[in-house]
Structures are given as structure tokens and as C-alpha cells.
Chains A and B, each alone.
Chain A
Amino acid sequence: MLNKTPLNAVHRAAGARMVDFGGWDMPVNYGSQIDEHRTVRGDAGMFDVSHMRAVDLVGAGARAFLRHALANNVDKLAEPGRALYSCLLREDGGVLDDLIVYYLREDFFRIVVNAGTAGKDVAWLSGLIAQHAPQLALTVRNDLAMIAVQGPNARLRVWAALPGSEAASAALKPFFGTMFDDIFIARTGYTGEDGFELMVPAVRAESVWQALAAAGVRPCGLGARDTLRLEAGMNLYGQDMDESVTPLDSGLAWTVDLASPRDFVGKAALTAQPRDRQLAGLLLIDTGGVLRAHQRVHTAHGDGEITSGTFSPTLGKSIALARLPAALGVGDTVHVAVRDKRLAARVVKPPFARKGQVLVR
């Protein structure tokens, strides 16, 4: 039995093509994935991301706990409302999940984790709390739906759809969130475009979705979400990284602070690990197919593997993220095994496209 979000009936009524996404019955597209992708790059689209899970951490010492529990440093969160991207690591440096943490009050942080990993994350964090900070309460917010509204016109359309929201959110800088009535509005996303992510009481999810649609926001499926995030050079947990690799193997060294004296779960392992792999971008030069996850990459410094690959609607070419030997550099040519062929691809530095613009060539 698949899990359903509060918007499931809305998707089905709209004729969405539904798929099993990590145990959730989710829309992959409402017709054309490429049209939905282009709408987000050029106007505004919305995604039901209610399968993702908000978890509230409340109590004295919440910051000190997260300073130790997360690989990124919550001391970067100086102003209330500010968000931080971080990995959650095992002691051996393996990535349990990637998440966004919002600083709301000194005794109140909201963490948003992936759908398929939420149970594992909560168990892990609960274990750390019991050990280090038993005064903290961890509350899983199954009562919240999440709608990501993304695109250059996304904010304008949210303001049109939700009267009063402009006054509450017009001053929000990127990577900040705030409350508006019973809706949490954050200027975050997973597409490389401007926009908001809305956390809405589940009972109001349908009315908010319909109001956004009436304001001209196009419903988009997880198919477009995947091509948008890949163009934006953003990792997908379970595909580009998992417990078998570290952030340093996954293009996420920028989210890990090894220089400061702060200790955190996994730090010792990261400090000791060899730096022999990297996660790089690939741009297909040859024609002859589409780059896909698990295709082998042959290079002058040994083999690698594609972790995510697709056809980029913005570039009109196939793009990928690939785990490659660290000795490779931007501009190097590699060869990808696609069926019975070896197709030439160039190593590039992601992102491939953001804010409607192509960023690699």
C-alpha cells in the first residue's frame, strides 16, 4: 500500500501520471515533463513535496546539539529564519541523509528531511538526543503538507494566490523562512530558480494548491523536479550519495567545515579519508543516447560511474553527475559506456543551468 500525500486526489483528478516514488504515490508528470521543466525555468510551476518530512527540534540547547549532530555548522545561522543545507553523517562519514535546517528560535529549529529516509533520520537523531541532550523534544510534523512554488514569477504568483502573504514575505532573502498565519514560507527550492517552499497544514493543502493554480502556477511532477535539480547541480540522496560515501566524495565539501575546532559526528572519519574521488558534472559531446545512472565512465585515471543522468531541456544535451577519480579536471574528455557504444563526454563544473541561463559549454 503506497503512502499518499494530502494532494493525491487533486493529482489524480488532474490526470497526472502517477508512480511509486520511494513508497509514495506521486505525480511524475501531468502531460509533458519537458514543458513543465520549461515553465519553471521561464515562469512558475509547483510541486507537491509533501512526502518530505518536517521535524521540529525544541528545547534549551538545541543549537549546541545540532552543532554536534550535523556536518555543516549551525553557527552560520545568526538571524532567525535563516536556513542551512547539511548532511547528517554516521561516525564513519557515510551520508545518512541531506537536509535543510531552519533556525526559528534559539530553542526551536525545524529540520526538513527526505521522504525515504525520514524514519531512519528520526531514529538516529533520537538516539543522539538520548545520549547528549535528553531535554530536547523531536516532533515529526505529519500534519504539514509541502508545496514548492518555483520559477522567476513564483513569488509574484504566491502573493496573488495568498492575500496578505506579500507583506509577510516580500523582504525574505534567499534561504530564509518566516511564518504567515499558519503557513511557513521559505525562499528555498530544488530547481535553481527563485521561489518559495510552503509548509501548509495538511487540511488546507488542497485549497492552497487550487489558489496557486488559479493564480497561474502550473502543476509539475517529480520528473521535471529531477531534471531541474540536475541542471542546477544539486545532489539527490540515494542516487548521488548514500551511506556508502562521504560528503567529500559527493561534491559536498563546501557543506563540511573541517577547519574549525568544532567536533561533529563523522568529522574524524572525514579528516582521515583519502581524497581519491570526486563528484563532477559531465556534458555529453557525442550523440548516441542519454547519460543515465550506473553507466560506466572510462577515463585516463581509471573508471568512474554516473550517479544521475538525463537529457537537459535547457541545454538540449545530455548531462550527468558522475563519481570520478579525483585526478580528473574540468575540460577533460572521458568516455561513457552507453549500450554497445563509448560516447565522449566533457568534465564540467556544475551547475549546468540556473535562473534560466546555461552555465556550462
Chain B
Amino acid sequence: MNIPADLKYAESHEWMRAEDDGTVTIGITDHAQAALGDLVYIELPAVGRVLKVDEACAIVESVKAASDVYAPIAGTVVAVNDEATGAPETVNADAYAAWLFRLKPAAADALAGMLDADAYGRLIGDA
């Protein structure tokens, strides 16, 4: 299972990347896309929406089932990936390239305490 070392992870199977401009890019992990199966529909939050921690803010639907995506950190949505909504299969192809949304975090140290790649690997039994 692909778990890049330069990303942070949430127990609800989102990945996070701290960008140079202070924003955080968020997507679902390779493990999550594999468990869901072929994705056919993605709904993302509106730009400007203020999210609380663990708030359901996006939906990914596969041929099998629908699943919520949660905000792993609090913040304001500053961008969404329209290419992912237009072609959900890109998330299956590369879950780390096909990001879903970008937040301006409410707290500067928002990613402190998030799982690193090793810890996430242990969580999904892929250590």
C-alpha cells in the first residue's frame, strides 16, 4: 500500500500536506480508495466554507457505496479540485496526486499530532 513519508494522515483515512503558503491540501489515502473501489461521484465543499474538526464536508461514491470525507483539521476552504469531481477515477489512479480540497487552517500548528506515515501504516495493518 502506498503511504508517502512526506504527508500526514488522519485516522479517518485522509492525507494532509502542508503547503509553503500555509494552506493544507487534503485528499483520501490509497488505502481508502482501494477499500471504496471504483469512484464514480465526488462532491466537494464550497470555497469559503468554514469547517470544524471531523466535520463531514465531502462525499465520495464508488460503484459499491457512498462515504463521507471528514475535515481532519479546522479551517476555511480556499480551493477544491474540480478535476477530481470531473473525473473521480483519477483518485483511484493516484490518490495522492488527485487532491480533494485545500484549507487555510484555523490554527498554525494544525498538523501537530497527526499520524505520520509509519503510524498510519500500523493503523491500516500495513506496517
The 8 closest A-B pairs by CB, nearest first: A311-B40, A34-B38, A290-B61, A311-B63, A33-B38, A33-B63, A33-B37, A290-B41
The verdict on A227 contacting chain B, using a C-beta distance below 8 Å, is yes
Are B66 and A289 touching (Cβ within 8 A)? yes
Q: CB distance A311 to B37 under 8 Å?
A: no
- A313-332, CB < 8 A from B: 313, 318
Does B124 make an interface contact (CB < 8 A)? no
Decide: B66 and A290 in contact? CB cutoff 8 A: yes
How near does chain A come to B94, taking the closest CB pair, in angstroms?
14
Other-chain contact of B37, A223, A287, A290, A292 (Cβ < 8 Å): A223
- Contact A339–B59 (Cβ < 8 Å): yes
Interface size on A, residues (CB 8 A): 18
Count of interface residues, chain B, beta-carbon cutoff 8 Å? 14
Closest B residue, CB atoms, query A32: B38
In this assembly, does B43 line the interface, its C-beta being within 8 Å of a C-beta of chain A? yes
The winner among B64, B89, B92 for most chain A CB atoms within 10 A is B64
Interface class of chain B by DSSP? mixed
A29-B61 contact in complex given A288-B43, A289-B66, A290-B66, C-beta closer than 8 Å: no
Which chain B residues border A290 with CB–CB below 8 Å?
40-41, 61, 63, 66
Q: How far is the CA of A29 from the CA of B33 in the complex (A)?
A: 14
Contact yes or no, B41 A311, CB < 8 A: yes
Inter-subunit contact B37/A29 (CB<8 Å): yes
Report the separation of the CA atoms of residues A25 and B111 in the bound assembly, to the nearest whole angstrom. Answer: 40
Give per-residue flags for A298-313: 1 if the beta carbon is below 8 A from chain B beta carbons, else 0. 0000000000001101
Contacts of A34 in B (CB 8 A): 38, 63, 89
Most buried by A among B37, B65, B89: B37
Interface residues in A263-290 by Cβ distance below 8 A to B read 287-290
B43 — which chain A residues lie within 8 A by C-beta?
288-289
Q: Mark B23-63, 1 if CB is under 8 A from A, else 0.
A: 00000000000100110110100000000000000010101
**B residues in contact with A289, CB < 8 Å:** 41, 43, 59, 61, 66
| Residues of A with C-beta under 8 A to B65 | 292
B40 CB contacts on chain A under 8 angstroms: 290, 311, 318
B63 touches A310 (CB 8 A): yes
Complex Cα distance, B59 from A83, in Å, reads 44
